[in-house]
Structure 1
Amino acid sequence: MSEKHAAPVESVVPGAPVAPKRPVVRSFHGRDFVDDYEWLRDKESAETLEYLRIENEYTQAQTAHLETLTENIFQEVKSRIKETDMSVPVRRGNYWYFGRTEEGKNYGMSCRVPVTAGADPWVAPVVPEEGTLDGEQVVLDANELAEGTEFFAMGAQAVSDSGKLLAYSVDNAGDERFELFIKDIDTGQLLDDHLEGIFYGALWVGDDYIFYVTVDDAWRPDTVWRHRVGTPQSEDVKVFHEADEHFSLGVGASRSEKYLFISMASKVTSEFWVLEQDNPEGEFRRLWQRESGVEYDVDHAVVNGEDLWIVTHNATGVNFEIAYSPAVAGDDLPGLRELPVLMAHAESTRIEGVDTYRDQIVVGYRHGGIGKVAIMHLDGGHWGEFKELNFAEELYTVSVGGNPEWDAPVLRVSYTSFIQPGQLFDYRVATGEYTLLKEQEVPGGYNPDDYVAYRIWTQARDGAQIPVSVVHRADLDRTQVNPTLLYGYGSYETSLDPYFSVFRLSLMDRGMIYAMAHVRGGGEMGRNWYDQGKLLQKKNTFTDFIDVADDLIARQVTTPAQLVAEGGSAGGLLMGAVANMAPDRFVGIQASVPFVDPLTSILMPELPLTVIEWDEWGDPYHDPEVYDYMKSYAPYENIEAKDYPDILAITSLNDTRVLYVEPAKWVAKLRDVATGGKFLLKTEMVAGHGGVSGRYDKWRQSAFEYAWSINKATGLEE
């Protein structure tokens, strides 16, 4: 029976809370929709806050039987994470920078030591577990900043070019609006500079200027500012403003420290402006003018003594190509389609980006559903050939990052897989030599041979081949059905790549299979894979996920009584859609910060990110065809009087990306309409899109979520 009998007025209720119905009518294109729970959007209302509080009490009461399992998972995770640890130092300028975490502390410390004269300047010092390095400084201790706050998140942490000053920004609400401060690292004193209401990031130019970005009322990064150190924010200079509501701004610098870039991007179109870094008060100049549907990205390289733009663009094919151009601007540039090509467009390979260095060019791309890296060595400053880095595992993730220095002869390469804890290597480009710098330690012992990871392929109902990653214990009895967690996302061309998780060990060690459905709308199989899961083809994302569930059941991997689905944010939309479309395939569905009322949100241009999102979902505000299509799958609007699986929805009051009101309304309506299913809503009252802050609180929250899924699939309570 559906839970419809309790009232939301008691502090602890034996039955589910019932939200009052206060109908409002939404009218667009001659279509009316009666929304009974839109009143929950009033975040400042005492009644709304009281309702959310009572929902939390109900969820706590209904999950009391999971306390032992949650605590066991938390302790298992805690025992498998090295609580006192340090990162491998990264060189920037005359210092090696690294992070430390200490047992019992929620946040990390940023530290540094000078590059030692006479030592190899590209071999990082080994940071001891106990004691400190000679000359070690604490640049920033986040634990001190977070003291006395309910929520804490960093938005920027940037050191000036000389290494003297630190700019850092903090958010104490979870709404992703930051305050920036400047600290003298040697003295520890804060300067008078204090910037409010800024977006993520801060870019130093020398020791005198900081470039930063602010957002408009819809939380769109729309303006770049220049701040001169020692002056009030009121005197900051507006460098650039983007009026088109489809576009967001960003500001950055080339690794060569020769150029500053302002980027403007919608979901389908981009444009760059450039300025010489030694002239920070100068005027930015446009590179290629925006052209609808054409995306490009730019980096700076020096080849044969000539300054060049290395350009990644899709003007000649959806999967992008890499080309180059003289480092000029405006009318002096040849057209994108006329540029000499370094890596040509291919139907089977999605080029994702380029990083340039003095002596090498690194390209990341995706082939066969797996991310790849190839490196071109600029031997003596001349063109070379791209050589792919090869690895033995079938499913893995490799990336090149943490390499801020332009003239470094070595690159940091990180590697992980579903069963291989993260590894960090120095890769010497000229020789191809790898040096292992660090491997994620799993205290208590871990043997990757105890687990297996492999890929199966599901044929979708329209014939598309959907990759599915599967991970479980090697000794699992696969001759019988097993409890399974099926995870999915499928939006924004985001790829779900293999990664190691100690949380997943707690799931698999209890006999569960973890499966990841790489459905359309993601980027795993190239740009066309993404295009087939967006706009008026969005339903492919949902049917792909259902087809994967059906395939796992048909292969006798699992059964509907043992299958739990999980997704978050846009993946929460996926969860809401499959709950309506195929409720009998799952025993439980977990939806984190779920985008389950998409049509209401996308019809509100004043909401954060809405206009930008029209390129992803379509524009139902102006187009009745899009309105009807979105209405046909919007989870909140398609709840029916039928049995649903049990659902756990997790949200945060201060989330600016997916507002708490969406899962709150969703759960309220499910309770009213569904004929079966238990529906739980948990709202973090001081948190944002990423949930609670502090690593121990995050671990405990994740332990609770895993406990819920394990219990639904297995019945285990410890």
Structure 2
Amino acid sequence: MKRIIPSLILLGAISACNNPQKKEMEPIKWPDAKAPVAEIIPHKRSIHGDTVVDNYYWMIDYFKKGADSTRVVDYLKAENKYLEEMMKSTDAFQADLFKEMKGRIKEKDESVPSFKNGYYYYSRTEDGKQYFKYCRKKGSLTAPEEVLLDVDEMAKGHSYFSATGFKVSPDNKLLAFGVDKVSRRQYTIQVKNLETGEIYKDAITNTEGPGAWANDNKTLFYTSKNPVTLLSEKIKKHTLGADAKTDVVVYDEKDNTNYIGVGKSKNGKYIFVASQGTLTSEYKMIDADRPQDAFKVFAARSKDVLYDVMPVDGKFLILTNWKAKNFRLMECPLDKTEKENWKEVIPHRTDVLLESAQEFKDYTVLSERKNGLTELRVLKKSGGDYYIKFDEPAYDAGVGANPEYDSKNLRYSYTSLTTPSSVYDYDLEKKTQKLMKQQEVVGGYNPKDYVTERIFATAKDGTKIPVALVYKKGFEKNGQSPLLLYGYGSYGSNSDVYFSSVRLSLLDRGFVFAIANIRGGQEMGRQWYEDGKLMKKKNTFTDFIAAGEYLIDQKYTSKGHLYANGGSAGGLLMGAVVNLAPDLWNGVIADVPFVDVVNTMLDESIPLTTNEFDEWGNPKKKDAYEYMKSYSPYENVEKKAYPNMLVTTGLHDSQVQYFEPAKWVAKLRAMKTDQNVLFLKTNMEFGHGGASGRFDYLKEEALGYAFFFKLEGITK
């Protein structure tokens, strides 16, 4: 529901004159357009002896297919029209920004090929095309190319199109893949014969996409979704040529707080069904040669125990938090997999979070996080270990695509706020590495023209909050420069730094960009996450405010020049901080924001709600309800001044339904006492992640940047 969206060559001479090193800015001139006023239709919510009147509850009707569906769509369109009228003076600037951002992207490009089962697989893009072609070559990169899927062709005629989850059968003859044409993440699985080019009639609807092929090359396991709640409820088994309606359910998840999925082990010997929530996980498995067998439990689920399983020669490796808050690595025999048989390999450490493990025949590569930064640790089967370390003050490194089990080569990725995304191949025996590809910035880019820092703000309880920054060389800490602060802080998802060629349009016009690693993420260890969820969720918001205040105190910016951005659960963050500290920000963009927390968590028919109870709490419990209500942005809108705000959503969003931001904007518009602007942008054709084409999303980026630039008095 509230997933991460996760979610900015020309400018050499221009940037100097547009860097707003001035104490006073000219008043912003906005058109005299009339903002939409949403109709008030009171709806009472009564629970735990508490009654709340929700004047905009009717906006749920498009989702519920209710009587007010047309009224909802009309309101959203009116808000879009108001935004267009108010931002019309920036139309040419937005077009220039789009052209500028697109101009930095290498249109004809190719991913680094990865080798699996005799073939090199890669994707490539072409000039002017929005999508890609998924390809392979047999045995050698000089072999003839096979285009497995031409997604550019497949996407023709669709306003949204996503093809994903490519799974090639063990005999290399079949390709299973998922297609979403609506942006609801409800994938239809299709199968293509790679020898004849035929797309089979086996269309399996309402899935998470292909999961795993059995070794018989005709049995496909996949995750089936509830069509209303979108919960991943069942694992099914499909036999090629059979009617999907007859597919056998091999696993039915009874705990609706868990997500489930199915996949194949790297060594190709097992098929695993994983059931995992925020606090508990369980694996079931079968021999990939015996798809007719019943799945058996690897280790029974137990409260607050998470684990992950990797088979290697003669044993299983287990990554787990069992009696180890920051996780440890264990192992067990192939035929004795319950917890009492687990033996410790790498112990728990209070100052190091063990995030993941990648198994190879002769090596295991661990991703470890210390002081918020990642290190890669190599364990040799023959004994001993060593680290692959990195030296920038803030960076992100991670294990990449390594599908081949019997390999002595590790592929990893690396990026920072100034280093473009890079792919390396590392020889695990020789300890040497080769740069395979680095993101090319068309038109030229010199990392030495930019400076990155990592500083620590102090939260209200004394906790040190990491903040990473980047700015154009020549920046002066005088409090007059604009600064955009980004945050997320939920689900234990890490907000690591990354390079963005789009962001250069911000930096080259004098902005500082910063990322705050607030609690609720997992950057500083598992406790960092636990201190920013459930009944400690407010730490996430006060940490972000503390980061903003520290940046002002250190004269990176000032109140009149400080901006904020976050999406999805980061949009909840935006809603909370504008309620708690509205005068701190000059402008805020909340993308697909999860802001109607109480009402959504009370309605289990809304997609993914029950999966979220371990993150936010279940408001049917009085203490959780009262705490949730005390910070939910929609519940806490007051008659006071708010900053300039742009709120975005998608009519078909499956993660955060459109009515949350729509209701929030309507209530803000009715209650705020300021003259600042408030905009709602609804993408009427897309969902949570926005447009599917590789260039279309830049129009949304251009709008957001133009909004910030307008507030800052930057006009070109």
Where do 1:319-468 residues align within 5 Å? 319-328=326-335, 332-335=336-339, 339-378=342-381, 382=382, 384-468=383-467
Return the alpha-carbon distance in structure 2 between the equivalents of residues 13 and 200 of structure 1.
48
* 2:275 corresponds to: 264
Corresponding residue to 1:278 among 285, 289, 299: 289
Paired residue secondary structure (2:498): coil
Which structure exhibits the higher relative contact order, with contacts defined as CA atoms closer than 8 Å and separated by 6 or more residues? Answer: 2
Where do 1:673-712 residues align within 5 Å? 673-676=671-674, 677-712=676-711
Q: CA deviation at 1:440?
A: 1.1
The worse-fitting range, judged by mean Cα deviation, of 407-416 and 586-595 is 407-416
Identity of aligned residues (%): 40
Q: CA deviation at 1:613?
A: 0.7
Corresponding residue to 1:223 among 231, 234, 251: 234
Return the alpha-carbon distance in structure 1 between the equivalents of residues 79 and 366 of structure 2.
48
Paired residue secondary structure (2:210): coil
* 2:20 corresponds to: none
Q: CA deviation at 1:480?
A: 4.7
Q: Look up the equivalent residue of 2:351 and give its one-letter code.
A: S
Paired residue secondary structure (2:623): helix
* 1:3 corresponds to: none
Corresponding residue to 1:245 among 256, 269, 272: 256
Paired residue secondary structure (1:76): helix
Return the alpha-carbon distance in structure 1 between the equivalents of residues 479 and 538 of structure 2.
32
Where do 1:8-157 residues align within 5 Å? 14-43=33-62, 44=65, 45-116=69-140, 125=141, 134-157=143-166
Return the alpha-carbon distance in structure 2 between the equivalents of residues 476 and 626 of structure 1.
45
* 1:625 corresponds to: 623
* 1:478 corresponds to: 477
Q: CA deviation at 1:403?
A: 1.1
Paired residue secondary structure (1:453): strand
- Check if 1:177 corresponds to 2:186: yes
* 2:638 corresponds to: 640
Q: Describe the superposition over 1:545-564 as per-residue Cα deviations: whole angstroms up to 9, x where unpaired.
A: 11111111111111111111
Corresponding residue to 1:199 among 191, 208, 213: 208
Where do 1:655-674 residues align within 5 Å? 655-674=653-672
CA distance change for structure 1 residues 602 and 334 in 2, over 3 Å: closer, same or farther? closer
Q: Are the counterparts in 1 of residues 214 and 271 from structure 2 also a CA contact under 8 Å?
A: no
The worse-fitting range, judged by mean Cα deviation, of 278-287 and 195-204 is 195-204
Q: Give structure 2 stretches of 5+ with no counterpart.
A: 1-30
Paired residue secondary structure (1:636): coil
Paired residue secondary structure (1:696): coil
Q: Are the counterparts in 1 of residues 104 and 442 from structure 2 also a CA contact under 8 Å?
A: yes
Q: CA deviation at 1:314?
A: 0.9
Return the alpha-carbon distance in structure 2 between the equivalents of residues 711 and 93 of structure 1.
53
Q: CA deviation at 1:458?
A: 0.6
Q: Are the counterparts in 1 of residues 110 and 125 from structure 2 also a CA contact under 8 Å?
A: yes
Q: Are the counterparts in 2 of residues 567 and 590 from structure 1 also a CA contact under 8 Å?
A: yes
Q: Look up the equivalent residue of 2:360 and give its one-letter code.
A: Y
Q: Are the counterparts in 1 of residues 210 and 220 from structure 2 also a CA contact under 8 Å?
A: no
Q: Describe the superposition over 1:574-609 as per-residue Cα deviations: whole angstroms up to 9, x where unpaired.
A: 000001110000011100000010111011122111
Return the alpha-carbon distance in structure 1 between the equivalents of residues 584 and 622 of structure 2.
32
Return the alpha-carbon distance in structure 2 between the equivalents of residues 72 and 398 of structure 1.
33
Return the alpha-carbon distance in structure 1 between the equivalents of residues 90 and 559 of structure 2.
22
Paired residue secondary structure (2:53): strand
Q: Describe the superposition over 1:135-182 as per-residue Cα deviations: whole angstroms up to 9, x where unpaired.
A: 111110111111101111124222111111111221111111111211
Return the alpha-carbon distance in structure 2 between the equivalents of residues 604 and 657 of structure 1.
14
Return the alpha-carbon distance in structure 2 between the equivalents of residues 185 and 364 of structure 1.
36
Q: Are the counterparts in 1 of residues 214 and 291 from structure 2 also a CA contact under 8 Å?
A: yes
Q: Give structure 1 stretches of 5+ with no counterpart.
A: 1-11, 117-124, 126-132
TM-score by length of 1: 0.93
Moved over 6 A (4+): none
Q: Look up the equivalent residue of 1:209 and give its one-letter code.
A: T
- Check if 1:506 corresponds to 2:505: yes
Return the alpha-carbon distance in structure 1 between the equivalents of residues 210 and 280 of structure 2.
23
Q: CA deviation at 1:13?
A: 9.2
* 2:5 corresponds to: none
* 1:529 corresponds to: 528
* 2:310 corresponds to: 299
Return the alpha-carbon distance in structure 2 between the equivalents of residues 699 and 205 of structure 1.
40
Paired residue secondary structure (2:589): strand
* 1:6 corresponds to: none
Return the alpha-carbon distance in structure 2 between the equivalents of residues 523 and 219 of structure 1.
27
Q: Are the counterparts in 1 of residues 522 and 528 from structure 2 also a CA contact under 8 Å?
A: yes
The worse-fitting range, judged by mean Cα deviation, of 154-163 and 654-663 is 154-163
Q: Look up the equivalent residue of 1:188 and give its one-letter code.
A: G
Return the alpha-carbon distance in structure 1 between the equivalents of residues 678 and 172 of structure 2.
53
Q: Are the counterparts in 2 of residues 311 and 324 from structure 1 also a CA contact under 8 Å?
A: yes
Return the alpha-carbon distance in structure 2 between the equivalents of residues 424 and 608 of structure 1.
36
Q: Look up the equivalent residue of 2:366 and give its one-letter code.
A: V
Q: Are the counterparts in 1 of residues 177 and 209 from structure 2 also a CA contact under 8 Å?
A: no
Q: Describe the superposition over 1:370-403 as per-residue Cα deviations: whole angstroms up to 9, x where unpaired.
A: 122111122xxx3x23321112212111112211
Q: Describe the superposition over 1:477-509 as per-residue Cα deviations: whole angstroms up to 9, x where unpaired.
A: 234531000000010001111111011111000
Q: Look up the equivalent residue of 2:133 and give its one-letter code.
A: M
TM-score by length of 2: 0.93
Q: Look up the equivalent residue of 1:596 and give its one-letter code.
A: V
Q: Look up the equivalent residue of 1:70 and give its one-letter code.
A: Q
Q: CA deviation at 1:192?
A: 2.1
Q: Are the counterparts in 2 of residues 652 and 686 from structure 1 also a CA contact under 8 Å?
A: yes
Q: Describe the superposition over 1:426-483 as per-residue Cα deviations: whole angstroms up to 9, x where unpaired.
A: 1110110101211111111111111111111011110101000111012212345310
CA distance change for structure 1 residues 311 and 715 in 2, over 3 Å: closer, same or farther? same
Q: CA deviation at 1:334?
A: 5.0
Q: Are the counterparts in 2 of residues 65 and 717 from structure 1 also a CA contact under 8 Å?
A: no
Return the alpha-carbon distance in structure 1 between the equivalents of residues 176 and 82 of structure 2.
43
Q: Look up the equivalent residue of 1:585 and give its one-letter code.
A: L
Return the alpha-carbon distance in structure 2 between the equivalents of residues 280 and 151 of structure 1.
35
Paired residue secondary structure (2:691): coil
Return the alpha-carbon distance in structure 2 between the equivalents of residues 385 and 84 of structure 1.
43
Q: Describe the superposition over 1:174-229 as per-residue Cα deviations: whole angstroms up to 9, x where unpaired.
A: 11111121111232211221111112333222321111001123211110011111
- RMSD, aligned α-carbons: 1.4
Return the alpha-carbon distance in structure 2 between the equivalents of residues 373 and 599 of structure 1.
40
Return the alpha-carbon distance in structure 1 between the equivalents of residues 385 and 625 of structure 2.
46
Q: Are the counterparts in 2 of residues 68 and 717 from structure 1 also a CA contact under 8 Å?
A: no
Q: Are the counterparts in 2 of residues 155 and 199 from structure 1 also a CA contact under 8 Å?
A: no
Q: Describe the superposition over 1:607-626 as per-residue Cα deviations: whole angstroms up to 9, x where unpaired.
A: 111112110011111x1111
Q: Are the counterparts in 2 of residues 503 and 703 from structure 1 also a CA contact under 8 Å?
A: no
Return the alpha-carbon distance in structure 2 between the equivalents of residues 541 and 399 of structure 1.
25
Return the alpha-carbon distance in structure 2 between the equivalents of residues 195 and 138 of structure 1.
23
